[in-house]
Structures are given as C-alpha cells and as structure tokens.
C-alpha cells in the first residue's frame, strides 16, 4: 500500500475520524461551517476580483478594497481550512481514490499559486493603476483565473459526494 494511501487509512480509522463520521450531527455541523467559511473566503475574493475587472465598486481603489476585505478573507480561509481538514479526516480513505477530490486538490494548489504570482508581479505596481476603473490586463487575467478556479473548486467539492 502506498504511503499516502496508508496515511489516509490511518486517519480514517482513527478515533477522531470515526467520531466525526459516525456522529449523528458532527459531520453535518462541520460541513455547514465549511460552507460558511467558503462563502466568506470566496465572497471577499470575488469582490476584489470583480473590482479589478471593473464590474463593481469602480470608484473605490483596489488597495482600499483589499485592505478592507483581507481580514475577512483570512478568517474565511482559516474556518474553511480547519473544517475541510476535519471533513477529510472523517473520509480520508474514501477521498484518496475519489477523482473529484483529486481535482479539487489540484485546483486548490493552482488557486493558491494565483495570488502568489499576482502579488509578486502586477500588484507590486498597484499604485500606478489602483484608481483606474478597470485594471490592467494582467490584473484582469488574474481575477478571471481566480474566479474560474474557485468555481471549479466549488464544483469539484460538490462532486466529491457523488464519486
């Protein structure tokens, strides 16, 4: 058995994994918290992405919106990450071979690289374009990539239950 598959089986068989999976309420509550975390995370990211595309809040600078939503974005990320890990813990052995789960993990890696690339390139010069109603093409491309990747993550996450 490959190491990763073995680790997934250990998580699945652990007392915590079993407790979450077999509880009448734990999995459902954690899943609901996960959805709320995702909503907060993606909602705040989408607001900034839509601003960079020039579709909303065109009169407010990109940096002002970013500063305003960043604490909420991080809060959503923390809630989503912890609850998502608990959900994975409860079903690790099943998720190991689930194609939708694997797609979701790949998309999560890509969506993490997107802001890393964005902040080390085009955002370094945000002072030059932050008040423009529509951001430069590279910022718009990053926004489109972000919205597309998050949509894919939501679809893959939902599909996990059906594989």
Question: pLDDT digit of tens for each residue in the chain (163 aa)?
Answer: 689 999 999 999 999 999 999 999 999 999 999 999 999 999 999 999 999 999 999 999 999 999 999 999 999 999 999 999 999 999 999 999 999 999 999 999 999 999 999 999 999 999 999 899 889 999 999 999 999 999 999 999 999 999 8
Q: How many CB atoms lie within 10 A of CB 155?
A: 13
Q: According to the model, what pLDDT value does residue 163 have?
A: 87
Contacts of 100 (CB under 8 A, 6+ apart): 156, 157, 159, 160, 162, 163
Q: Decide: pTM greater than 0.75.
A: yes
Quick one: three-class SS letters along 70-129? HHHHHHHHHHHHHHHHHHHHHCHHHHHCCHHHHHHHHHHHHHHHHHHHHHHCHHHHHHHC
C-alpha 90/C-alpha 20 separation (Å) is: 6
Number of domains within the chain: 1
Q: According to the model, what pLDDT value does residue 1 have?
A: 66
Q: According to the model, what pLDDT value does residue 100 have?
A: 97
Which domain does 149 fall in, by range? Answer: 3-162
């Amino acid at each position: 058995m490959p190491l990763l598959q073995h680790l997934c089986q250990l998580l699945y068989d652990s007392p915590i994994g079993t407790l979450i999976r077999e509880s009448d309420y734990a999995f459902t509550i954690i899943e609901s918290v996960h959805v709320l975390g995702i909503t907060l995370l993606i909602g705040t990211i989408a607001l900034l992405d839509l601003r960079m595309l020039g579709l909303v809040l065109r009169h407010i600078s990109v940096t002002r919106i970013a500063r305003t939503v960043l604490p909420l974005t991080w809060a959503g990320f923390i809630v989503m990450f912890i609850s998502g890990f608990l959900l994975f813990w409860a079903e690790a052995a099943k998720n190991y071979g689930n194609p939708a789960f694997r797609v979701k993990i790949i998309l999560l890696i890509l969506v993490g690289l997107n802001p890393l690339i964005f902040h080390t390139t085009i955002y370094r010069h945000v002072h030059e374009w932050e008040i423009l109603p529509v951001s430069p093409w590279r910022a718009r491309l990053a926004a489109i990539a972000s919205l597309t990747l998050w949509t894919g993550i939501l679809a893959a996450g939902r599909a996990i239950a059906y594989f």
